[in-house]
Each structure stands twice: as structure tokens, then as C-alpha cells.
Amino acid sequence: MSYIIEIEDLWFRYRGTKEYALKGVNMRIREGEFIVIMGPSGCGKTTLCYCLNGIIPHLIRGELRGKISVCNLNPAEHSVVEMSRYIGLVFQNPEMQLVTTSVYEEIAFALENLALPRKEIRRRVEEILTLTGLKGLENRSPFSLSGGEQQALAIASVLVLKPKVLILDEPTSQLDPWSTKLVADLIVKLRENLNMTIITIEHRMEWAAEHADRILIMDNGRIIVEGSPKDIFKTPEPVRTIGFRPPQVSEIAYRLQERGFKIPTVPITLPEAIELYEKILREGRRYGNSNN
Amino acid sequence: METPIIEVRDLWFEYPGRVVALRGINLKIHRGEFLGIIGHNGSGKTTLVKHFNGLLKPTKGLVLVDGIDTRKLSVAQLSRKVGYVFQNPDHQIFAPTILEEVGFGLKNSGVPESEIIERVKEALQIVDLNKPLDASPHFLSVGEKHRLAIASVLVTRPEVIILDEPTTGLDFKHCIQLMSIVKKLNERGHTIILVTHDMYLIAEFTRRVIVLREGRIVADGSTKSIMSNIELLEENFLYPPQVTLLARAISKYGIPPNIVTTEEFVTSYGNLLSRLSTENPNSL
């Protein structure tokens, strides 16, 4: 079995700090997988992303040990610019990575650096504009866009290099609900249309439950649990351990079970939940709590 | 009738460059309320609450705090009635020690040092922050900084506390920690005004909600009535909690369609299920 990303016993500590931010991370990701990473602040998730695209150790220094392979390359041995053709990173705050004066320029920027012919640049920018829903905004200043459009632009300017892997570090945490939906829908679309390998750090459980192939939970520099959403949310423990809130439809099942009702499975998405809770009411008797 | 702690009469506000942010707001907030303010970006939420502590003054209309026109009060005077917790605590933290940081508002109003220390200790205790008074605030964790920011507001014992997106950048655990402190403050009698995009927090903690759109109040009602009005929320680019969608989908079986928290759902569903399985076992 071949993996597009392979990490073995990865340790990292930032220069000048005593404690390791990563304490022996092991992770294997197959091509085309959609991975959601979650964990409390300070758990090491952003550090892990920086190791994958080479920001660590090239731009952020410290002590790095262990094995990393991304598309068969070791990011420590290739420049960040080189790695960006294989793995694209989108930050939490889109303003952090917008540098030019128009949407078109922003997307074309990375391609101009590769010295591609003008015609080819135009073609690829057009393609990405359509894909990311930014068509019609080409001439606008990036700073005049809504938060959601800015984040879509940040994604577009990473995608234009056609990386095989896209990493998003809490892409919606600074956005309002409308923008969040815009970006979340875009990520799902990329996954469906491009069959990309996508890793996103995300704390919206309902969304993760619906879309992720696998969820990795990090705490204190380690991946402590991993599994399909179905496995992760089967019991409340994995998510409650790190102080997070499971999907509401799952939470309902745990609480009914705690009160003695015989809820046969834990639904993780709304359609599943509607079907299950409806069925139980129709066949009510069999599921009554133990007091009956 | 008791004077509302905050009353807004036909409030209009225009930013320089003729950007009209508020267009005729009328609102009464009573002592002890826990009010949520929601709306799309640019709907005027922050502009409105900045009028409550006098950071902004009306272009037209009137804002009364405890019956007094805010134009007649300085921000310092108002800060004893209305405290404002900023979105990002780093914007608010500047002093070299926790004592100076939290005690700043008191020192400014000439409160004696011994009383400052007492009140700073009290405020830190309420937010559950047990750190030495001479420690630097800059080395606190994100969650601790948020609590410190609230302590700095609490120390002047304001009747009203405004929280503007207080949980941005906090993970769920810290967010709940913060909100349980806020809930405790409300139980002690403080009026709470919460501006947030997080519909889960609105559903779980507030009792009344107003929805703003383009500088106007388009809905004002109980949290239950607003948060279960899926069409109203969607019109305003907001989304109801998952549990509300579930309750509505199976409401024909007797689950109330206006459920907004998981606890309400579990109680109501559990009761229904118990009744179905005991009272009328044969009809199932």
C-alpha cells in the first residue's frame, strides 16, 4: 500500500523552548483521502501542518526528528517554493497570505514566479476562477472582498499550482456563518471534482461527521485517536476527552442511552438521525428505558 | 415600570463617508436580561453595542443608559455602568502585571491602592484565574487571556456586560468555560449582551435575541421563537442548530418543532418514548 503522506515518530520543538510541540507523531494518508484533524489549542496541529510543507524547518527553526515523506519528498530537503507544487497550505486568516492588488494578480502571482508563458497563466487563472466561484471578481482588490471570498481566493492561489495535497489550517474559524458555508462548500467541491488529498483542521463536528473519510484527534503533541467519523462518534469519549462537542444528533443518542433508553446506533449526520429517531418512535415499545 | 437599563430611541448612525450603519433602532433592555444580537457581517451589531458604552454617539436619536443620555456621559463614567469585552484580548492587554492590567480602570478613577487589590482579587476569583498579581499577563494562555479581559471589565462592577464575539479563537472547552462564567454573572444580576455568530451559544445561553439586517432590527423575541424560525435565520444568512432541524423533521410524532438545545430534545423525546412504551404498548 502506498501513501501520499507518511510520518513516522516525528518530534519537533521550537527553538528556545523546552517542551516538544510534537511528541512522536505517526500518520499515514492515502491519495484522495479527506482528513479532518481536530484538537485543543496548543495540541500541535498547526506545527504538524508546518512540518508537512517545509515551513518547519526552513522558515521556523527548531529541533526536528523523525521521518516525513510528502509525495515521496522530504520537505526538509526541498525549499518551501518547491514543496508548494506538491502541497499547498491555506492559513486561518486569509489576509495573512494576500499580497497583491487584484484577485487576478493574486492567483497569477505564483505562476509568474514560475516564468510560465502569459497565455498559459491566463488559461490556468481562468480555470481556477471558475472552480472557486470567484469569476467576475477578477479586478477587485483582495481587501474589498468578504471574509469568505478572501479565503476562497487564498485557496485559489494555492490551487493554481496544482498541488496534489491541500492543507487548510482552520479555514473557517474567523468567518461568519455565510462565509463559513461558502468555504466549506468549496472544500467539498474540490474534493469531489479534483479528487485531491485534503487535510483540514476543523472544529465544526457536524461538518466533519458528514464529509471526512477519517478524523485524527490530537492532544499534547500526539495523535491520540483516529478513525472514520462513525468510529470516532460511536461513543462520546474521544471527543469529550479533548473538551469538544460531538455532533448534536450524536449527543442526543449518548444522553438518551445514559438515561437507559435502548438507542441501537449513534447517528452522526442529520439525515441518519431523522431516519433513526423516527423509526424508534414508530416502533416505540422496544426502545423504552429499563424502568419500564 | 422600572427604567430599562438601556433604552434606544430611533437611533441612526453614520460613519464618515456617509456609510449609514444604523437606521432607526428602537430597543429596551431590562436589568438581568441575557440578550443575544445576531446578524450578517455589516448588519450593524458592533456599531449598535458601541453606543451602549459611549464609544460611539448617535448621529440622530437617543441612547439612554439607566435613564441618562449617553451624550452627557464620558466613556469613563459609562464604564462603571457598561463594560465592553473586546473580540481579541490581545488588543486589550497592555500592562506589565496582572494587578495593573485588571486594576487599570480603578486606578484611573482614583480608587485607593488597598481597595484596588481587593477588587482585582475578587474579579480574578470570579473568572477563576489563580495567578500571582505580579505575573505578566502576556504569558497567559489564550483561554486565560480571555478570562483576564473579562476580569478587567468586571473590576469596575458594571451592571451591563457586553461581549462582542468573545469566543473567536477559543476552542470549545475554553469557550464553554468562558460562557459558564458569563452565565454565573447573569445569575448574580448582571445584564449580559452577547454579539456572536455562534448559533449554538445563542441557543444554549441567551433568553432573548434580536436580529439585525442593514442597520435595522428585523426580529426581536424569545431565543426559542427566533432560533427555531429557520426561514428567518436563512433570510439573514444564519443557520439554525442541527437539533432544531431534527426536531422539526420529526415534529409530526409529537416532538415540539421549536426545540433549540439538545437537552430540551432529549427531555421531550425521552418523555414521548416512555409514554409510548408504557401507556399504549399495543398501538405501536
Q: What is the pLDDT of residues B246-272, one digit of tens each?
A: 999 999 999 999 999 999 999 999 999
Residues A193 and A214 in one domain: yes
Instruction: Read off the pLDDT of residues B213-229 as tens digits, 9 standing for 90 and up.
Output: 999 999 999 999 999 99
Tell me how long chain B is.
284
The pLDDT of B90-94, averaged and rounded, is 73
At residue B176, the pLDDT reads 86
Does residue B168 register a pLDDT over 80?
no
Low-confidence ranges of chain A (pLDDT < 50): 290-292
Q: Which residues pair with B234 in a beta bridge?
A: none
Q: Are residues A145 and A17 part of one domain?
A: yes
Mean pLDDT lowest for which of B103-112, B165-174, B223-232?
B165-174
User: Closest partner residue to B171 among A41, A278, A282, by Cβ?
Assistant: A41
- Specify the pLDDT at position A116: 87
Inside any domain, residue A292 = no
Question: Are A148 and A18 in a shared domain?
Answer: yes
**A265-280 core/surface letters (b: 16 or more CB in 10 A; e: else):** ebbbbbebbbebbbeb
The answer, yes or no, to whether residue B141 has pLDDT greater than 90, is: no
- Same domain flag for A118 and A30: yes
What is the average pLDDT value for chain B, to the nearest integer? 90
A153 and A229, same domain (yes or no): yes
Whether A42 and B141 lie within 8 Å, measured CB to CB: yes
Greater confidence (B71 vs B170) lies with B71
Q: Answer for the pair B148, B102: CB distance below 8 angstroms, yes or no.
A: yes
B198 membership: H or E segment, kind and range: none
A155 forms beta bridges with none
Instruction: Identify whether residues A237 and A257 lie together within a single domain.
Output: no
CA angle A232, B250, B35 (to 5 degrees): 80
In this complex, do A203 and B172 lie within 8 Å of one another by their Cβ atoms? yes
Query: What is chain A's length?
Result: 292
One-letter identity of residue A196: M
Residue in chain B closest to A283 (alpha carbons) equals B284
Q: What percent of chain B has pLDDT over 90?
A: 65
Q: What's residue A189's pLDDT?
A: 93
The domain in which residue A269 lies consists of 248-287
Show which of A242, A259, A277 is a domain's final residue.
Answer: A242
Instruction: Clarify whether residues A180 and A274 are in a common domain.
Output: no
- Cα A76 to Cα A50: distance, rounded to the nearest angstrom: 11
Predicted confidence at residue B284, as pLDDT, reads: 41
Predicted confidence at residue A34, as pLDDT, reads: 97
pLDDT digits (tens, 9 = 90+) for B17-72: 888 999 999 999 999 999 999 999 889 999 999 999 999 999 999 999 999 999 99
For residue B136, how many other CB atoms are within 10 A of its CB?
14
> Does position B277 have pLDDT exceeding 80, yes or no?
no
Provide the domain count of chain A.
2
Instruction: Please indicate, yes or no, whether residues A200 and A264 belong to a single structural domain of this protein.
Output: no
Same domain assignment for residues A236 and A254: no
pLDDT at B283 over 50: no
Task: Tell me whether A40 touches chain B (CB under 8 Å).
Answer: yes
Q: What pLDDT sits at residue B142?
A: 76
- Longest Cα–Cα distance in chain A: 76
Contacts of A176 in chain B (CB under 8 A): 40-41, 197, 237
| Nearest of B172, B13, B195 to residue A206 by alpha carbon | B172
Share of chain B above pLDDT 70, in %: 96
Task: Write the CB contacts of B255 (distance below 8 Å, at least 6 apart in sequence).
Answer: B247, B265, B268, B269, B272
Residue A153 covered by a domain: yes
Are residues A150 and A256 both part of a single domain? Answer: no
Q: What is the pLDDT of residue A33?
A: 96
Question: Cα torsion for A241, A243, A246, A250, to the nearest 10°?
Answer: 60
Read off the CATH number of the domain in which A122 is found.
Answer: 3.40.50.300
State the distance between the two ends of chain B, measured CA to CA, in whole angstroms: 53
- Of A255-264, B85-94, B144-153, B204-213, which range is least confident? B85-94
Strand order in the sheet with A5-14: A22-29, A5-14, A62-70
- Spell out which chain B residues touch chain A, with contact meaning CB-CB distance below 8 angstroms: 40-41, 141-143, 168-174, 176, 197, 199-200, 237-239, 241-243, 245-246, 249-250, 253-254, 262-263, 265-266, 269-270, 272-274, 276-278, 281, 284
Query: Does residue A194 sit in the same domain as residue A278?
Result: no
In 3-state terms, chain A is what percent helix, strand and coil (to 5)? Answer: 45, 20, 35
Q: Please tell me whether residues A39 and A91 are part of one structural domain.
A: yes
A247 CB near a chain B CB, below 8 Å?
yes
Residue B89, CA distances (Å) to A96, B101, B147, B222 in order: 19, 12, 9, 30
**Cell numbers standing for residue B155:** 473590576
> What is the SS3 assignment for A138-173?
CCCCHHHCCHHHHHHHHHHHHHCCCCCEEEEECCCC
Inter-residue contact A38 to A218 (CB < 8 Å): yes
Give the closest-approach CA distance of B264 to chain A in angstroms.
Answer: 10
